[in-house]
Amino acid sequence: MNIEQKLKELFNDNFNGYLDSTKSIKVISESTFIKLIPQISEILSTSVSNNSVTEQKYNELLYAVGRKFPDESRHETALRYILNADLVASSIVRKEV
């Protein structure tokens, strides 16, 4: 579940307000919102923490590329390396079977 879904679920579970005149926006009371701040904070901090780990792992892959090819970003070079290695590995497996 992504951050937007978690927040929607949190607000829907605690909805005690009303629909606005367009009947498309749920409005909750200020006191309800204040009560939800700790849970909102937890959802956001978990998301930031997860993004930080993901970013670190992504950077590790990018900087494992010794040199990027001309007219390619490190990302494109890393992706090409991974796809090429996967093709070679799957052809070896096919030959062994």
- pLDDT tens by residue, 15-59: 655 555 666 666 667 777 778 788 888 877 777 677 777 888 888
From first CA to last CA, the distance across the chain in angstroms is 39
Interhelix angle 30-63/3-13, nearest 10 degrees: 170
At residue 16, the pLDDT reads 58
Closest by CA position to 83, among listed 72, 71, 97: 72
- pLDDT band for 82, please (50, 70, 90 cuts): confident
Are residue 26 and residue 54 in the same domain, yes or no?
yes
Which residues lie below 8 Å from residue 10, measured CB to CB, with a gap of 6+?
A: 36, 39, 40, 43
| Co-location of 40 and 13 in the same domain | yes
Q: Do 68 and 53 share a structural domain?
A: no
Is the predicted pLDDT of residue 76 greater than 80, yes or no? yes
Domain identity same for 69 and 89: yes
1/45 same-domain check? yes
Residue 70 lies in domain:
64-97
pLDDT over 70 (residue 63): yes
Burial category of 15 from C-beta neighbours within 10 Å (exposed 0-12, middle 13-18, buried 19 and up):
middle
Q: Between 7 and 96, whose confidence is greater?
A: 7
Domain count, the chain: 2
The verdict on pTM exceeding 0.75 is no
Residue 30, pLDDT score: 72
Element (H, E) at 27: strand 26-27
**pLDDT of 67:** 83
Residue 97 is given by DSSP the state -
Could you tell me if 16 and 53 lie in one domain?
yes
